Chains A and B, each alone.
Chain A
Amino acid sequence: MSHIIKVSGLGKTYKSGFTALRDVNLDIQKGEIFALLGPNGAGKTTLISIICGISSPTSGQVTAHGFDIVKDYRLARSKIGLVPQELSTDAFESVWATVNFSRGLFGKAPNPEYIEQLLRQLSLWDKKNAQMRELSGGMKRRVMIAKALSHEPEILFLDEPTAGVDVELRRDMWEMVRGLREHGVTIILTTHYIEEAEEMADRIGVIRQGEILLVEEKQALMDKLGSKQLNLHLTSPLTEIPAALAEFNLQSELEGSFLRYSYDSRQNGDSVARLFRILSEQGIGIRDLNSSESSLEEIFVSLVHEETAK
């Protein structure tokens, strides 16, 4: 697969002496949606800022489209759009002016038809003459997206695009991001809503304290780290769990009328079948059962904690 962004050995130490990134290596594939997850202060914004040219790297190298972001910044940046985490806008500018400003800044000839289409798509057309200060937070966020897309970028960075955005708009945004991907735009997003990454991403990277902990296909990650639960509702409650079932480490709840078996889907083998066999040997009747998989969020939390414990 061809990578569109290549980050190698990237390090960033702020003037304060704080090291926000250490030896970050990351390849972004062309056309994918990449979700960068990590707790507050992990270095997500710092990483994005460096790739986009807002801060300078202390060490290492980044290329976009094969162009070095420092030496060939003009070529590297012209195809990149950024929606920053902070909503900073020119309060007195109109929506129309500010979006066209962005397009010009990125060296593109005016194209009012394209900008109109963009604003319509983001439901901003009826606000085109409004000043930025007259907009709600969610609207401002959309204007920021319009600005980032104004020069028809091939790579789009979304730094927490759905923070403070209502559910409906979030769904719309996901739609839009998928639409962009269909048009071949590569998208890198950060988010604290794991469901968002779960819903959208092709690949997921986890960063913590300036280090990339893992990069994995979303599905592979969920398969690999995903544990499953088998929930059993019993016909009659157990006062205690029979010794024959000890190996399964069952959790009992609801005064013994409910049993939960947690197992690793990687190495489940025939343990479920064995569990059922022993249950029937013990004469334990099952009224109902269901199973559940751990979500990305649980994976994420356990991963971050595991690493912290080290």
Chain B
Amino acid sequence: MNIYGIRAIYYFEMARTMRTLMQSIVSPVLSTSLYFIVFGTAIGSRMGTIDGVGYGAFIIPGLVMLALLSQSISNASFGIFFPKFSGTIYEVLSAPVSPLEIVLGYVGAAATKSVVLGILILITARVFVDYSIEHPVWMMAFLILTSITFSLFGFIIGIWADDFQKLQVIPLMVITPLTFLGGAFYSISMLPEPWQTLTLFNPVVYLISGFRWAFYGVADVNIAVSLGMTMVFLLTCMAAIWWIFRTGYRIRT
């Protein structure tokens, strides 16, 4: 195992995050806070509770998920896309680092950043909305698993993308709608049929539901199913990356 190699990539990526602190941490925290202000305090106070949870508190897990998914993807995809784009990838390719080590470095850094971001958002949310966390260990488990999974997913997009547009199209056109429709702002039991059943095909539902359960002990779908689905996403991404490196797809000419 080339530990120094993993560390080099990891710290390189973390240094990039620190250089772009405004864009990579401050701006997602701020934009998520806007939701808390608008829906949590302003509108939320006029809305009833959902599953016994005040509306402001109810939307927190979903909003954190939204930030986690989009930031994990954009950070991890950019991290590997940019060296490909600028040509500096030559060094990683010519170094004695294995695919696993490359993934650990890039995805590890992206996931770390997402976890930190998630925690910062939760701390900020506490300023505007009063909420509690019933299962803190599970909350952290979902936070970390989701960050890793979607950083892996972002890494795949970064390898697949050969221009900036492709880099943005999936987060914007797929992930954001799926999150908004995945129960970030409502309980899916509030939906009429057939939407309630159709929604179950939206993978983000399971992530948000599981995460919300960790906070308030209420969930749209069984917690075991949520956890299972999260693991399935994680394993799918790992398998995809394994395949990419095995075939050299879009990495080596």
Is the pair B94, A89 in contact by a Cβ cutoff of 8 Å?
no
11 interchain pairs (CB within 8 A)? Answer: A15-B253, A54-B253, A73-B96, A74-B98, A88-B86, A88-B87, A91-B86, A97-B12, A104-B5, A106-B96, A107-B97
| Cβ of B102 to closest chain A Cβ, rounded Å | 10
Please report the C-alpha to C-alpha distance between residue A237 and residue B61 in the assembled complex, in whole angstroms. Answer: 100
Q: Which of B2, B8, B248 contacts A56 (CB 8 A)?
A: B248
Name the residue on A nearest B19 (C-beta): A92
| B: interface residue count bin | 20 to 34
Is the pair A53, B94 in contact by a Cβ cutoff of 8 Å?
yes
A101 within 8 A of B: yes
Q: Chain B residues near A49 (CB, 8 Å)?
A: 253
Q: What secondary structure prevails in chain B residues at the interface with A?
A: helix
Name the residue on B nearest A48 (C-beta): B94
Report how many residues on chain A are interfacial, defined by Cβ distance under 8 Å.
37
Closest CB pairs A-B (n = 9): A104-B8, A88-B87, A74-B96, A52-B94, A107-B2, A105-B95, A77-B96, A55-B253, A78-B96
Is the pair A107, B5 in contact by a Cβ cutoff of 8 Å?
yes
| Cβ of A88 to closest chain B Cβ, rounded Å | 3
Is the pair A102, B96 in contact by a Cβ cutoff of 8 Å?
no
Is the pair A90, B8 in contact by a Cβ cutoff of 8 Å?
no
**A56 touching B4 in the complex, CB below 8 Å, given contacts A88-B87, A105-B91, A106-B95:** no
Is the pair B86, A90 in contact by a Cβ cutoff of 8 Å?
yes
Is the pair B88, A90 in contact by a Cβ cutoff of 8 Å?
yes
Please report the C-alpha to C-alpha distance between residue A80 and residue B5 in the assembled complex, in whole angstroms. Answer: 15
B9 within 8 A of A: yes
Q: Chain B residues near A78 (CB, 8 Å)?
A: 96
Is the pair A80, B86 in contact by a Cβ cutoff of 8 Å?
no
Q: Chain A residues near B98 (CB, 8 Å)?
A: 74
Name the residue on B nearest A88 (C-beta): B87
Q: Chain A residues near B3 (CB, 8 Å)?
A: 107
Q: Chain A residues near B19 (CB, 8 Å)?
A: 92
B93 within 8 A of A: yes
B 10-42 to A, binary, CB cutoff 8 A, 1 in contact else 0: 011001100100000000000000000000000
Please report the C-alpha to C-alpha distance between residue A80 and residue B92 in the assembled complex, in whole angstroms. Answer: 13
A287 within 8 A of B: no
**A14 touching B97 in the complex, CB below 8 Å, given contacts A56-B248, A88-B87, A104-B4:** no
Of residues B8, B9, B98, B252, which shows the largest number of chain A Cβ atoms within 10 Å of its Cβ?
B8
Q: Chain A residues near B253 (CB, 8 Å)?
A: 14-15, 49, 54-56
A277 within 8 A of B: no
Q: Chain A residues near B242 (CB, 8 Å)?
A: none
Please report the C-alpha to C-alpha distance between residue A252 and residue B42 in the assembled complex, in whole angstroms. Answer: 99
Name the residue on B nearest A110 (C-beta): B4
